[in-house]
């Protein structure tokens, strides 16, 4: 049987259009629709359930069930098959619905003789406004095409329901406390700071109102024109040397280009137009299907790619609607709070910094690079906000508290007042931190701790003096590469590094060589054609540098030149094996030799270190330590690889605690071995910037911590309140604990002893 077997899709859509445009009350039209759909789908039953305030679905029209059940039968969202479809916003095709664990029998409907059931959600503006279901007596398998056909019908139905006022979106959202009332929304704190501003959606969705076409040929032409414009836009993004808002990073662009030429995708859209939909509706239908498939996908990589495809559909819809792509500078208010599903580091850097107040994400985790950059830029960021794109309407006002991970939507007077007080309290605290600026970071029992700062962008540099740091413990050189449009040549790199050293004066700066790969992508770098399933564990950092020695040598040459007669500290990221460190060191020595031969000034004092981010290196320390000038623990990646937990996957990123006995023992072991070899060791992951974690690291014996500039004040305050010996004694016993985390114990201990965390 074909999907719309009786009459074919175009006839069905024509019939639907006639009903929508015809006379009769909305109820009569719904009734007619159920008849037409049932006939077309060769089903004995067709029912329409509409959403009522309070998350209840009401049987609003039926062909085939008992008429007296209409406006009587009600199911809560999540209850029964219909409630299940609404709860998950995805279709359900069941050979025998009565065997489904969620089946809820409603005797008044007389549905006991119907076995198979196909139900699809009716969605408008991202909100489920109803469910459309067909049923058959026989144990029937519904084909995927039938589900697609019913989804198309559901799109048309959604338009009728909304335009005839059968469901008011505002009533639904109001019932969820969601429309004009102020709301407090909790998420995951990713970057500290307080801000208020106007919501700007990163990729605003487009509403399609005209669904059924008069003239398919004209729709095909519109589609072709929009596809051409899309191809041009993608090409322009590739070439764009003006990093304008909305430009995407390379991998996504490549995926866009691939999908935009993807025959299957285009064929499905064209099929939609052939069946009588407008070009816009055809794109939206395919988008809906994609979304449905995506939500059920277990493979994160494929899910990501399908997300890309959704984004591409959105772009195409914008073009069809005659709107520009991305957020234009004019659409960007002076106090924008950008709301996105997720953002890559490059997306964030694309926004005009002077207008960006805060970022809210549906996804996001604390050690993912976009959060690292947000902290470097001092932009409050909150992640893991369910349905953020739907919950924050563009143009609404919000207050973002990046420390608590709290967002106030349409804040009332109370929230505003609390915000002002909070701002004032922060100003006071900032003054307290500023007062500590020139005071030493020494514990109460006299142990000095060197507090350094992480940097990577030139506008980080003034923070050195503002925060009063001892140096830069991690300069992420790749960030400089990410804000360029082409590979910076040796001279350009040397001038950047030289500016960093100038700003630091006599204070040390640890330059980390390029850590490209993972979620840090350079648009202009040729990468192997094969896509990486796990880029964080893939061709990145030193692996890439050793495979592209010219690239690494150029960077090392630039660093050596920038230092001239000054001191220089260089470290290699993601060292997994001693041999890799030695190979990198050899490249550096060759560059040094070359300079000497040419009579150029070489650094007065050169120290070369390894980042310890891959657990394998812990078992090679005996071999490694004689060759290195220092070790820097990259706790973000070390944690990721130690627990096999993707730092940018919000579902698992917070599952394990850095303050677990296992991870702390690992760090303790590294510190001990470095100490035994008299090799300086520090830590430069995000962990160092959190007072409680930093306190624990000091207790384990670390004396060198590098952190975001904004963390220096709170960490220094903690150090100056800390008795290191008392803490070290307490920690010894704690690491034997068999609990997954010692966070609470440490916090209580700190509070009991007056350590300021
Ligand atoms: C780390 O992994 O801890 C680190 C400092 O490097 P990055 O966050 O840049 O990967
Ligand atoms: Mg790292």
Per-residue pLDDT tens over the stretch 124-140: 877 889 999 999 999 99
Whether 372 is in the pocket of ligand 1, judged by its Cβ within 6 Å, is yes
Which ligand has the shortest distance to the CA of 574?
2
**H-type alpha helices, 378-477:** 388-391, 413-436, 462-467
Q: In this predicted model, which residue has the larger pLDDT, 306 or 738?
A: 738
For 437-446+635-683+685-757, CATH number? 3.20.20.60
**Ligand 1 atom with minimal separation from the 573 CA:** 6
Q: Can you spell out the DSSP letters for 531-597?
A: PPSSGGGSS-HHHHHHHSHHHHHHHHHHHHHHHTTSEEEEEESS--SHHHHHHHHHHHHHHHHHHHH
Strand ranges across the sheet with 406-409: 183-186, 406-409, 397-401, 194-201, 336-340, 356-361, 381-383, 188-191
Nearest CA to ligand 1 atom 1: 634
- At 257 the pLDDT is 63
**Ligand 1 atom with minimal separation from the 518 CA:** 10
**Ligand 1 atom with minimal separation from the 684 CA:** 5
- At 238 the pLDDT is 56
**H-type alpha helices, 210-278:** 216-239, 250-260, 263-274
Rounded CA gap, 195 and 401, in Å?
Answer: 7
Q: How far is the CA of 30 from the centre of ligand 2 (A)?
A: 58
Catalytic residue among 46, 63, 674, 684: 684
Task: Inform me whether the pLDDT recorded for 326 exceeds 80.
Answer: no
Regarding beta strands 74-76 and 356-361, do their DSSP bridges make them parallel or antiparallel, or are they unpaired? unpaired
Which ligand has the shortest distance to the CA of 455?
1
Q: How far is the CA of 484 from the centre of ligand 2 (A)?
A: 21
Q: Tokens for 34, please give them.
A: 């159920």
Q: How far is the CA of 611 from the centre of ligand 1 (A)?
A: 9
List all residues 6 or more positions away from 653 whose beta carbon is below 8 Å from its beta carbon: 365, 366, 367, 368, 645, 646, 647
- pLDDT band per the 50, 70, 90 thresholds, residue 676: very high
- pLDDT band per the 50, 70, 90 thresholds, residue 170: confident
Q: How far is the CA of 185 from the centre of ligand 2 (A)?
A: 31
Question: Which mutation among 369, 571, 636, 643 tests ligand 1's pocket best, with the greatest number of atoms within 8 A of CB?
Answer: 636
Which ligand has the shortest distance to the CA of 368?
1
Residue 237 near residue 253 (C-beta atoms within 8 A): yes
Q: How far is the CA of 500 from the centre of ligand 2 (A)?
A: 21
Q: What's the 3-state SS for 449-473? A: CEEEEEECCHHHCHHHHHHCCCCEE
Whether 476 is in the pocket of ligand 1, judged by its Cβ within 6 Å, is yes
Nearest CA to ligand 1 atom 9: 476
Whether 280 is in the pocket of ligand 1, judged by its Cβ within 6 Å, is no
Averaged pLDDT, 703-707: 97
- pLDDT band per the 50, 70, 90 thresholds, residue 592: very high
Rounded CA gap, 202 and 370, in Å?
Answer: 15
Nearest CA to ligand 1 atom 6: 634
Q: How far is the CA of 636 from the centre of ligand 2 (A)?
A: 6
Q: What are the backbone angles phi and psi of residue 351, rounded to the nearest 5°?
A: -75, 145
Task: Inform me whether the pLDDT recorded for 481 exceeds 90.
Answer: no
3-state secondary structure of 720: helix
Catalytic residue among 369, 463, 674, 696: 369
**Ligand 1 atom with minimal separation from the 640 CA:** 2
Whether 685 is in the pocket of ligand 1, judged by its Cβ within 6 Å, is yes
**DSSP letter (8 states) at residue 263:** H
**Ligand 1 atom with minimal separation from the 613 CA:** 2
Whether 635 is in the pocket of ligand 1, judged by its Cβ within 6 Å, is yes
Whether 670 is in the pocket of ligand 1, judged by its Cβ within 6 Å, is no
- At 719 the pLDDT is 98
- pLDDT band per the 50, 70, 90 thresholds, residue 118: very high
**Ligand 1 atom with minimal separation from the 454 CA:** 5
Q: What are the backbone angles phi and psi of residue 336, rounded to the nearest 5°?
A: -85, 135
Q: How far is the CA of 193 from the centre of ligand 2 (A)?
A: 24
pLDDT tens digits, 210-235: 888 888 899 999 999 998 888 887 77
CATH among 3.30.360.10, 3.20.20.60, 3.40.50.920, 3.90.550.10 for 471-621: 3.20.20.60
Q: How far is the CA of 613 from the centre of ligand 2 (A)?
A: 6
Q: How far is the CA of 681 from the centre of ligand 2 (A)?
A: 16
Question: Which mutation among 511, 544, 572, 634 tests ligand 1's pocket best, with the greatest number of atoms within 8 A of CB?
Answer: 634
Q: How far is the CA of 368 from the centre of ligand 2 (A)?
A: 10
Q: Which of 509, 625, 535 is nearest to 575 (CA)?
A: 625
Task: Inform me whether the pLDDT recorded for 184 exceeds 80.
Answer: yes
Q: Which of 728, 619, 731, 725 is nearest to 673 (CA)?
A: 619
Question: Which mutation among 685, 704, 706 tests ligand 1's pocket best, with the greatest number of atoms within 8 A of CB?
Answer: 685
Which residue do the tokens 């007080």 mark?
A: 421
Averaged pLDDT, 704-708: 96
For 183-413, CATH number? 3.50.30.10
- pLDDT band per the 50, 70, 90 thresholds, residue 105: confident
List all residues 6 or more positions away from 338 whose beta carbon is below 8 Å from its beta carbon: 200, 201, 202, 327, 351, 356, 358, 359, 360
Q: In this predicted model, which residue has the larger pLDDT, 192 or 343?
A: 192
Please check whether the two domains, 9-173 and 437-446+635-683+685-757, share a CATH topology: no
Question: Which mutation among 571, 611, 640 tests ligand 1's pocket best, with the greatest number of atoms within 8 A of CB?
Answer: 611
Q: How far is the CA of 585 from the centre of ligand 2 (A)?
A: 19
Nearest CA to ligand 1 atom 10: 637
For 9-173, CATH number? 3.30.450.40
Q: How far is the CA of 162 from the centre of ligand 1 (A)?
A: 49
**Ligand 1 atom with minimal separation from the 474 CA:** 5
Rounded CA gap, 151 and 121, in Å?
Answer: 8
**DSSP letter (8 states) at residue 312:** H
Question: Which mutation among 370, 460, 474 tests ligand 1's pocket best, with the greatest number of atoms within 8 A of CB?
Answer: 474
Averaged pLDDT, 411-434: 89
Whether 684 is in the pocket of ligand 1, judged by its Cβ within 6 Å, is yes
Nearest CA to ligand 1 atom 4: 634
Rounded CA gap, 699 and 693, in Å?
Answer: 10
Question: 144-173: string of b/e by CB count within 10 Å (b at 16+)?
Answer: eebbbbbbbbbbbbbbbbbeeebbeeeebb
369 is catalytic: yes
Query: In this structure, how many other beta carbons lie within 10 angstroms of the beta carbon of residue 9?
Result: 22
Whether 613 is in the pocket of ligand 1, judged by its Cβ within 6 Å, is yes
Whether 515 is in the pocket of ligand 1, judged by its Cβ within 6 Å, is yes
Whether 637 is in the pocket of ligand 1, judged by its Cβ within 6 Å, is yes
Sort 609 into a burial class: Cβ within 10 Å, 0-12 / 13-18 / 19+.
Answer: buried
**Ligand 1 atom with minimal separation from the 636 CA:** 3
Averaged pLDDT, 147-157: 89
Whether 640 is in the pocket of ligand 1, judged by its Cβ within 6 Å, is no
Task: Inform me whether the pLDDT recorded for 143 exceeds 60.
Answer: yes
Which ligand has the shortest distance to the CA of 369?
1
Q: In this predicted model, which residue has the larger pLDDT, 532 or 39?
A: 39
List all residues 6 or more positions away from 148 whose beta carbon is below 8 Å from its beta carbon: 3, 285, 289
Whether 368 is in the pocket of ligand 1, judged by its Cβ within 6 Å, is no
List all residues 6 or more positions away from 144 whose beta carbon is below 8 Å from its beta carbon: none
Rounded CA gap, 372 and 366, in Å?
Answer: 8
Q: What are the backbone angles phi and psi of residue 610, rounded to the nearest 5°?
A: -120, 140
| Mean pLDDT value across the chain | 88
Beta bridge partners of 707: 453
Beta bridge partners of 121: 131
Task: Inform me whether the pLDDT recorded for 22 exceeds 90.
Answer: no
46 is catalytic: no
Rounded CA gap, 4 and 8, in Å?
Answer: 5
The residue ranges of every structural domain in the chain are 9-173, 183-413, 437-446+635-683+685-757, 471-621
- At 205 the pLDDT is 67
Q: Tokens for 7, please give them.
A: 């009459």
Rounded CA gap, 359 and 356, in Å?
Answer: 8
- At 249 the pLDDT is 44
- At 247 the pLDDT is 34
- At 589 the pLDDT is 98
Task: Inform me whether the pLDDT recorded for 729 exceeds 90.
Answer: yes
Whether 636 is in the pocket of ligand 1, judged by its Cβ within 6 Å, is yes
Candidate ranges 171-180, 385-394, 476-485, 554-563; pick with highest mean pLDDT = 554-563
Residue 130 near residue 49 (C-beta atoms within 8 A): yes
- pLDDT band per the 50, 70, 90 thresholds, residue 255: low
Which ligand has the shortest distance to the CA of 639?
1
Q: How far is the CA of 453 from the centre of ligand 1 (A)?
A: 13
Whether 683 is in the pocket of ligand 1, judged by its Cβ within 6 Å, is no
């Amino acid at each position: 049987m074909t999907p719309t077997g009786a009459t074919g899709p175009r006839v069905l859509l024509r019939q639907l259009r006639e009903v929508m445009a015809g006379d009769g009350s909305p109820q009569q039209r719904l009734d007619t629709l159920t008849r037409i759909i049932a006939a077309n789908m060769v089903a004995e039953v067709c029912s329409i359930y509409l959403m009522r305030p309070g998350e209840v679905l009401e049987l609003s029209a039926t062909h085939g069930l008992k008429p007296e059940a209409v406006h009587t039968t009600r199911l809560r969202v999540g209850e029964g098959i219909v409630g299940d479809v609404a709860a998950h916003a995805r279709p359900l095709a069941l050979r025998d619905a009565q065997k489904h664990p969620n089946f809820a029998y409603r005797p008044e409907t007389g549905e006991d003789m119907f076995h198979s059931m196909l139900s699809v959600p009716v969605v408008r503006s991202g909100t489920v406004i109803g469910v459309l279901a067909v049923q058959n007596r026989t144990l029937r398998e519904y084909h995927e095409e039938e589900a697609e056909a019913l989804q198309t019908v559901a799109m048309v139905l959604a338009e009728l329901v909304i335009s005839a006022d059968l469901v008011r979106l505002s009533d639904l959202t109001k019932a969820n406390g969601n429309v004009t009332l102020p709301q407090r929304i909790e998420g995951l704190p990713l970057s500290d700071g307080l801000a208020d501003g106007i919501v700007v959606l990163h990729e605003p969705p487009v509403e399609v109102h005209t669904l059924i076409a008069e003239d398919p040929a004209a729709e095909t032409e519109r589609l072709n024109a929009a596809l051409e414009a899309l191809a041009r836009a993608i090409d322009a993004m590739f070439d764009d040397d003006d990093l304008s808002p909305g430009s995407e990073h390379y991998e996504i662009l490549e995926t866009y280009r691939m999908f935009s030429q993807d025959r299957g995708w285009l064929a499905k859209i064209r099929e939609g137009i052939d069946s009588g939909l407008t070009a816009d509706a055809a794109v939206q239908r395919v988008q809906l299907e994609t979304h449905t498939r995506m939500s059920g996908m277990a493979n994160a990589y494929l899910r990501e790619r399908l997300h890309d495809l959704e984004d591409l559909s959105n772009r195409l819809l914008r073009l069809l609607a005659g709107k520009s792509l991305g957020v234009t500078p004019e659409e960007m208010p002076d106090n924008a709070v950008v709301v996105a599903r997720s953002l890559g580091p490059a997306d964030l850097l694309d926004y005009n910094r002077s207008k960006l107040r805060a970022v809210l994400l549906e996804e996001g985790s604390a050690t993912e690079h976009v959060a690292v950059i947000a902290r470097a830029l001092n932009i409050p960021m909150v992640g893991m906000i369910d349905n953020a794109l739907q919950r924050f309407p563009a143009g609404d006002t919000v207050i973002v508290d990046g420390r608590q991970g709290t967002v106030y939507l349409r804040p009332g007077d109370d929230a505003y007042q609390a915000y002002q007080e909070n701002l004032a309290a922060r100003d006071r605290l900032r003054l307290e931190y500023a007062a500590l600026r020139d005071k030493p970071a020494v514990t109460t029992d006299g142990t000095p701790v060197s507090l350094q700062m992480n940097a990577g962008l030139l506008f980080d540099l003034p923070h050195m003096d503002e925060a009063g740091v001892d140096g830069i413990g991690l300069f992420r050189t790749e960030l400089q590469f990410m804000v360029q449009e082409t590979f910076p040549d040796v001279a350009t790199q040397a001038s950047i590094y030289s500016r960093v050293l100038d700003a630091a004066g006599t204070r040390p700066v640890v330059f980390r060589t390029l850590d490209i790969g993972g979620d840090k992508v350079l648009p202009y770098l040729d990468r192997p054609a094969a896509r990486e399933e796990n880029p964080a564990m893939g061709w990145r950092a030193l692996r890439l540098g050793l495979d592209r020695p010219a690239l690494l040598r150029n960077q090392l040459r630039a660093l050596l030149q920038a230092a001239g007669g000054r001191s220089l500290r260089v470290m290699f990221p993601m060292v997994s094996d001693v041999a890799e460190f030695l190979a990198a060191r050899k490249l550096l020595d060759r560059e040094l030799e070359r300079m000497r031969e040419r009579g150029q000034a070489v650094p007065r004092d050169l120290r070369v270190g390894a980042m310890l981010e891959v657990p394998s290196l812990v078992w090679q320390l005996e071999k490694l330590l004689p060759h290195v000038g220092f070790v820097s623990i990259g706790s973000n990646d070390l944690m990721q690889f130690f627990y096999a937990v993707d730092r940018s996957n919000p579902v698992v990123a917070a599952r394990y605690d850095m303050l677990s006995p296992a991870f702390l023992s690992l760090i303790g072991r590294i510190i001990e071995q470095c100490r035994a070899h008299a090799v300086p060791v520090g830590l430069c992951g995000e962990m160092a910037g959190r007072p409680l974690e930093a306190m624990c690291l000091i207790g384990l014996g670390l004396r060198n911590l590098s952190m975001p500039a904004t963390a220096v004040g709170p960490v220094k305050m903690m150090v100056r309140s800390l008795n290191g010996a008392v803490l070290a004694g307490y920690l010894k016993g704690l690491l034997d604990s068999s609990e997954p985390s010692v966070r609470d114990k440490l916090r209580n201990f700190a509070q009991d002893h007056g350590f300021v965390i």
